[in-house]
Chains A and B, each alone.
Chain A
Amino acid sequence: MKQTAQLLFKNRRPGETVFLKEYERAGGYLGLKQALREMQPKQICELVKNSGLRGRGGAGFPTGLKWSFFPADKPAPKYLVCNCDEMEPGTYKDGELLQADPHQLVEGMIISAYALQADTGYIFIRYAYREQFANLQRAIAEATEAGYLGKDILGSGFSFELHVHGSAGRYILGEETALLNGLEGVRPNPRSKPPFPAVRGLFGRPTTVNNVETLSNIQHIVTGGAARFRDLALTVDGAGTKLYGLSGHLERTECFELPVGISLREIIDEYGGGVWRGRRFKSCLPGGASTPFLTSADLDVQLDYQTLEAVGSRFGTGGVTVFDDRTCMVAATLNLIRFFARESCGWCTPCRDGLPLVAWLLEKIEHGDGTRDDLQLLKSQYSNISGNSFCALAEGAMGPVDGLLRHFEQELVDHIEKGRCPFS
């Protein structure tokens, strides 16, 4: 186990939260000062583009490219919105970050807003993150007091105000356009794209939505440079570190900052302390509940966008949920599908009515009442829901079903043939 450079978790100490004094002592807000004093907004965008940073919210869209669509020259108001909904099961990294070091995000957002020439920011945070909400409020108050937020920041002429918006518990609010509706106080169904938020976002104005981790990386890219950021990754195309939240059947289920491109095996063995209770690895979700399962054949895969796509899955949010060899994958998938069906916003048919039908099929098979026809039906549900929903929620729901059908079809057949769950 070699030491990884800690950017985001540099200040993290168990059970503690770092606020302004300590944050500054550890070099906080130097990035902001550097950005405001030495860099043009365009330069920062260019730097972020060169750094290879990709969105950490799940979709992995190159951040610099996203920013390049933002019409910086349009008049105010323009918005920068931080997505801290983080409700995808297996994903808890943003919460960890904000529990330890809220100023990271605040600083990252101010620099990002400067780069985009946005004048108002919102942090959209999930209901359950009460402490993180309080941390952010305090951090914002401190930063305002210190002149890092508000009018004419550090005499640069740039002004930015930042608000925290608490949500009330729905996964769909993580989808960026639903989030914008949620912020506006209307029903949080997703919006159709185009128009993209960069054109018509919050309150009809240009808006960029980014993830907590994405935005928190910005000052490190400013201070350390693009090349260094790229070099942090272990893959050729990758860049930076990543917050990996470990969960499931591991000895240690914690969140670590490790390089992009670390292998699955190393994470499990070195950081997760191996599969719990001395059992064997069966499968895992490599990047949150919406990423297709991997199997033991994939243990040596490097955790990065392209590498995981090559093995039929996705990097997602970097939340790694491991399943031991006693896990029924039908039951696991059923649990995941129930989550997605319950979190559907109810707007489009494949998700609203299709997911409950998939859940019903899996339930039937899991309970031993399934038939070969049901297996066929499951396959046709999968292929018809995938790619055909209004937003990516139902798409994500099909991730585990995809993995189940590709890697564990035999397990489905066993359920059907035995007339019961072979694991119970």
Chain B
Amino acid sequence: MAELLTAEQIDQFRAHIAHIEHPRELIIDLLRAVQDKHGWVPDEGVELVAGLLGLTPLEVEEIATFYYKIYRRPVGRYPIHICDSICCWSRGGEALAEHLQKSLDIAPGETSADGLFTLLPTCCLGVCGRAPAMMIGRESYGPLNNEDVDRVLAELRQEAQA
């Protein structure tokens, strides 16, 4: 398994925790840090966060499982959040999602065979003026048509090869 947090990160968090009154407020920061480093948050990540904050794994899990953008299951290298909310829906979001499914050959929630992409329908991304939109990792794209999507996917595939 890849590293969950670097030793340096852990030291930084420890120092931060020691100096604030309510360490629990860092729970999302820690989970996000693990996710940024590791791609998703495995059980060990939850336990690591719990250990740092003096919580039980369950207490961290209660929070981690509430948030959709903490991945508690493996995702591809590029998780694709395709917006299915009203503005994107009104401007062809459904067709776009279908196109994505077809070109990746996966259903929503699945990861492509090459392990690169996971397709996650998501609520409004806050770029309603650029609908239909998607977010890959934490980069948002829009407005999109099928060609744009193909181009982005091709670029990412290339990036992954490099």
Contact = CB atoms under 8 A, between A and B. Distances in A.
Do chains A and B make direct contact within the complex (CB under 8 angstroms)? yes
B16 to A, nearest CB: 11
Contact of A335 (B62, B89, B129, B135): B89
Nearest to B20: A163
Contacts of B62: 187
B63 interface: yes
A327 B22 CA distance: 49
B27 to A, nearest CB: 4
B99 interface: no
Given A249-B90, A321-B86, 13 more contacts: A89-B128, A128-B127, A128-B140, A165-B28, A168-B67, A170-B68, A182-B28, A185-B28, A185-B63, A248-B90, A335-B85, A335-B86, A342-B123
B148 interface: no
Contact of A166 (B21, B28, B66): B28
Nearest to B64: A168
B135 A247 contact: no
Interface of A: 86-92, 95-96, 126-130, 165-171, 182-188, 203, 245-249, 253-255, 285, 289, 319, 321, 323, 327, 332, 335-336, 338-339, 342-343, 345
Given A170-B67, A170-B68, A185-B26, A332 B126 contact: no
Contact of A167 (B67, B129, B130, B140): B67
A88 B124 contact: yes
Contact of A246 (B26, B68, B124, B129): B129
Q: Specify the main secondary structure of chain B where it touches its partner.
A: mixed
Given A95-B126, A166-B32, A187-B62, A248 B91 contact: yes
A245 B129 contact: yes
Given A87-B126, A247-B131, A169 B69 contact: yes
B126 A249 contact: no
Contact of B123 (A89, A129, A319, A321): A89
Interface in B10-35: 21-22, 24-29, 31-32
A327 B89 CA distance: 11
A96 B139 CA distance: 15
B90 A168 contact: no
A246 B63 CA distance: 34
A170 B87 CA distance: 18
B144 interface: no
Interface size classification for chain B? 35 or more
Interface of B: 21-22, 24-29, 31-32, 62-63, 66-70, 84-87, 89-91, 122-131, 135, 138-140
B86 A90 contact: yes
B32 A87 contact: no
A255 B25 CA distance: 33
Most buried by B among A91, A169, A246, A323: A169
B78 to A, nearest CB: 15
Contacts of A127: 67, 69, 138
Contacts of B28: 165-168, 182, 185
A246 B130 CA distance: 10
A91 B70 CA distance: 23
Contacts of A249: 90-91
A321 B128 contact: yes
A247 B91 CA distance: 9
Contacts of B21: 203
Contacts of A90: 85-87, 124, 128
A335 B126 contact: no
Given A88-B124, A184-B24, A336 B129 contact: no
Rank and list the top 7 A-B pairs by shortest CB-CB distance, nearest first: A169-B69, A185-B24, A168-B67, A89-B85, A89-B124, A185-B27, A247-B87
